[in-house]
Amino acid sequence: MRLLSLLVTVSLTLAVAYYIYTPLPDAIQQPWKLMMLDAYFRTAIHGLISESSPGPVPGVKVSDITFAGIPVRVYEPPAGGEGHLRRGLVYFHGGGWALGTTKKGTYDTINRMVSDELNTVVVSVEYRLYPEVHFPVPYLDCLAAAKHFLSPEVLAKYAIDPERVAVAGDSAGGNLAAAVAQESMSHQNNDSMSVKFSVQALIYPVLQALDFNTPSYVENQYMPILSRSFMIQFWVQYLNADLSLVPQFAVNNHSTLQHSAITPELRSRLDWNVLLPQKYKKNHKPLIVEKGSHGVLKKVPGLLDVRAAPLLAGPEVLAKCPRAYILTCEYDVLRDDGLMYARRLQDAGVTVTIAHYEDGFHGCFSFISWPLEFDVGKRALRGYLSWLQNNL
């Protein structure tokens, strides 16, 4: 009986260790903590956003209201400095357009910190998520809330300087922030959005869905928190496509040369062989398929829609975009999306600050408090706050 019990215990221990263990690069600090976090994420995917966080920041007033019918949480800094206008910031949370909330966990903590430390009115948008909705609904929710916030009447109500308003977001929220920033600066919106964003802060943003074989997608395809297959699944869900397409997307069969809609000009906008520095290209070769899945673009038109894929926007659109802060992590499938967007913005004449974390991984920005605390996360957050302090 004792032998049987021992065998069961050993078997369970080995099974748990096998489930948890993921080979990680040497540069990753606290690897076992990250492995356990990833195992938790895989077991209960709705745990993507850490709910462990410090207590409320004293003095910050928090209100759950609606902007143009969209639920938002507004953070107002402590009273003081009467007569002086304050900064404003709109934040879109991450979670693959399917997970997350601004009302608890790290997002709530970070927005309170921004409001308190930077004397900023922060509006965090509770846009609708999959499976309730698909693209373009989350984007339209975010745009509607941003338009409402940027109206002169609302800015005046909250005593915000119209020259100091930012838009920011992480991961899928970075995608939404980039898309909203582009739209807010376009000619079509000059009448409806007389106030423009002065800066944008994009935290490891996801920006395109045509090439899932960039160097960072290949190198980090099995990395914890956000693997390549997870990211493709999030895209397929967001664009209301059939999940059976995930394997086709993984080998770029959805963006073959036979698709005339993907013109050479369009391909150049995400040509990592041109847009990435050599240190990131290494010895990787572009995966360009001549013939693949037929009719994918007709079934999934969002693949070429710049509101879903901001990296595909033309140079004339990028040239109007606000100054940018783009945070990227070495061990992240989305690293090259951010780096390519930074290069394209710079080529269009936009001032860009690239904050690259050599020991960073996707999601680290959210892991800043015990027990899910990583030093790189705290450094990433401090860098974000510092940039906003100096540029907003």
Name 319's bridge partners.
none
| Listed residue (72, 326, 106) closest to 206, CA to CA | 326
Q: Residue 259 corresponds to which tokens in the numbers above?
A: 């698709």
User: Hunting for tokens 């013109």 — which residue is that?
Assistant: 263
List C-alpha distances in Å: 251 to 217, 236, 284, 371. 11, 14, 15, 37
Q: 313: left (phi > 0), else alpha (psi -120 to 50), else beta? A: beta
Contacts 24+ apart (CB under 8 A), 26-31: 27/330, 27/331, 27/358, 27/359, 28/331, 28/359, 28/361, 29/359, 29/374, 29/375, 29/376, 30/374, 30/375
Burial class (CB in 10 A: 0-12, 13-18, 19+), 290: exposed
List C-alpha distances in Å: 229 to 225, 252, 291, 302. 11, 13, 22, 19
The secondary element (H helix, E strand) that includes residue 165 is strand 160-170
171 belongs to the catalytic site: yes
Contact 102, 129 (CB under 8 A): no
Contact 304, 181 (CB under 8 A): no
Please give the Cα distance from 224 to 35 (Å, whole number): 7
Annotated active-site residue in 171, 184, 293, 366: 171
Residues 6+ apart with CB under 8 A from 10: none
Annotated active-site residue in 93, 254, 259, 362: 362
Annotated active-site residue in 108, 332, 336, 337: 332
What residues are annotated to the active site? 171, 332, 362
